[in-house]
Every structure is written in C-alpha cells, then in structure tokens.
Amino acid sequence: MAATLLAVIVALAVGHLAPDIATGVRQHGWFGGWLRWLNAQFPEGSFWRGRHGIALALAVPLLVVGLFQVALREPLWGFVGVLFAVVVLFHCWGPRDLDLDVAGVLDAPDAASRRHAASRLWAHAAGARMDGPSLVEAVFRNALRRWFGVLFWFLLLGPFGAVLYRLSVLAVERDDTQLAHETAAGARAWLALLEWPVAQLMTLGLALVGNFDSVMAAWREDDAFALHGDLLGAAARASVRSEIAEEAADYAESGVSASTAIIEVFGELPELRDAMNLAWRILILWLAVIALFVVAGWVG
C-alpha cells in the first residue's frame, strides 16, 4: 500500500510538472509492433484471429513482468521490488496528464484551438465532440483509463495488474494494428470486464464526493450493473448538472441571473471544468483510503 501511494504521487507530480518527459517515457509503440507481428504470423482461422486471441498478445509481456515481480520481491529487503513497482505504475499511468489536457481545452483562445485540444480526450481525434455531456463523459472515461483502472489493478495484482490493464486498453484504442474483427471484439469484451469493477467503485466515490441523490438515481437504472452499461457516464453527467445548478442557484439568490452566474463561475465550458474537479475529488478519496490502510498497517 505504501508503495502504491508513493508511486501514484510520483506519477501525478512528474506528469504535471514535466509532462513532456512523462509522455516521452510512456511510449508503447513496441506493443503495436508486437500486434502487427502476430497478425503477420497467424493466418485466418487461427487462435490469434479468434475472439480469445488477445490472450496471446498479453501472455508474453505479462509473463516477463510477472517473473520480474516475483524475482525482485526479496532482494534488499524488498526495496528493489518497491522500486520496480513505482517504475511500472509510472510507466502505465497516463500516458498524458489529464489535468493539463483539460486545461488546454479551457484555456484555448478560439473554437478551432478548443476543438483541437479536446481531441486529446478521445482515442481517435475524429470522434471528438464539444457538447457538455460528451465532454463530461470524456473526462471520466479518461480518468478511468489514465488513472483509476491502472490504480485498481495495481492494488490487486501489483505491477502485473498495471501492465495487464494498460496493454488491454492499448489493444482496444490503437487504430493502426488492424486487428481481425473477432480479435478486436474479444479485446473490447475483455477490457469491459476489467473496467466494470473500477467503474462501479468510481461511481460510489462520485456519490460520496458529488451529488449523492443524482448518482443514486443513475445507479437505480435497469442496466446500471450491465457489463457494457453506461453507469459511470450517466452518473457523472447527472452529478455535474446538479453541481452547476446548485452553484447557479446560489448566485441567483444574490440577484445574478443563472446564465451569467455559470459563465462567471465556470467559464465557457462549465461541464468540463466541473467534471475535472469531480474526478480529482474521487482520486483524492481513493488516495485517502489507501493512506488509511498504510497507517493502519504501521500501527498494527
């Protein structure tokens, strides 16, 4: 737990203070080359081109990481293993700093620059949308895939879990690997399975740090617990709407119109700014829980 807390602090600090260095270190081009090599080796009808083929792509790098994780657990009273864990989590975090990407959208001087900056929040730039609900969903999807997914699986499985999640995301988000249709479908299903518990815990955190009633309303929907459901996105949109409405109501009591209050408090993209604030609150809550476990372990 202490190593996890240290690794997250390092990842956040370096990513924010030296984003170019962090992005340069977090390069995963080798995985795209590995996927293309597998494409070239296996013909149609092979295991690789089936629904479970993604397991073949993940097996080799995960075996290497797992062996290092086991081998480095004991040397120098575990210090080498802790260092390895910090390095792996830092490498799997991001790869870009979410806070800086959102700030780039908010600080853009014109509509064209704003759309270009917003494209960094989508895996494929052509899919970028500038409406408020889409931006909220994009922030939380990126928070899940850049922060919380890596953190959750690192907590459960150590460096092995962080690499497992990051490579699973890369297999789905890369647009230059030309995966077979069945392989790509299997990769999406596998990633959905990995992200389901993370999304549920993020939604719980959102209920605690945001508008509880709005989040609970989203949780009561019929498909809230479905593997491919949109629970997190729905809860985030509802919570952001409630937060903005409450802020506008507070200003309205002092004689300021709601539309003027929203622009004065949040700027031109109120949903985006509020979504980023909520994502930070959830992360701080998660880190606080981890810190409590660390302190309890020391006391025990």
**pLDDT (tens digit per residue) in 55-71:** 999 999 999 999 999 99
Question: Residue 125 belongs to what domain range?
Answer: 2-299
Secondary structure in 3-state letters for the chain = CHHHHHHHHHHHHHHHHCHHHHHHHCCCHHHHHHHHHHHHHCCCCCHHHCCCCHHHHHHHHHHHHHHHHHHCCCHHHHHHHHHHHHHHHHHHCCCCCHHHHHHHHHCCCCHHHHHHHHHHHCCCHHHCCCCHHHHHHHHHHHHHHHHHHHHHHHHHHCHHHHHHHHHHHHHHHCCCCCCCHHHHHHHHHHHHHHHHHHHHHHHHHHHHHCCHHHHHHHHCCCCCCCCCCCHHHHHHHHHHHHHHHHHHHHHHCCCCCHHHHHHHHHCCCHHHHHHHHHHHHHHHHHHHHHHHHHHHHHHC
- Average pLDDT of the residues in 190-195: 96
Average pLDDT over residues 33-37: 91
Determine how many CB atoms are found less than 10 A away from the CB of residue 95: 18
pLDDT band at 21 (very low <50, low <70, confident <90, very high): confident
Q: What pLDDT is attached to residue 67?
A: 95
Domain count, the chain: 1
pTM (predicted TM-score): 0.91
Q: Look at 243 and 280; give whichever has higher pLDDT.
A: 280
Q: Please say whether the beta carbons of 96 and 23 come within 8 A.
A: yes
Assess whether pLDDT exceeds 80 at residue 143.
Answer: yes
Question: What is the average pLDDT score of the chain?
Answer: 86
> Which pLDDT score, from 0 to 100, does residue 74 have?
79
Instruction: Give the tokens for residue 158.
Output: 């150590």
CB 179 within 8 A of CB 187: yes
What is the pLDDT, as a whole number, of residue 256? 55
Residue 261 is predicted with a pLDDT of 53
Q: pLDDT tens digit string along 75-88?
A: 777 788 888 998 99
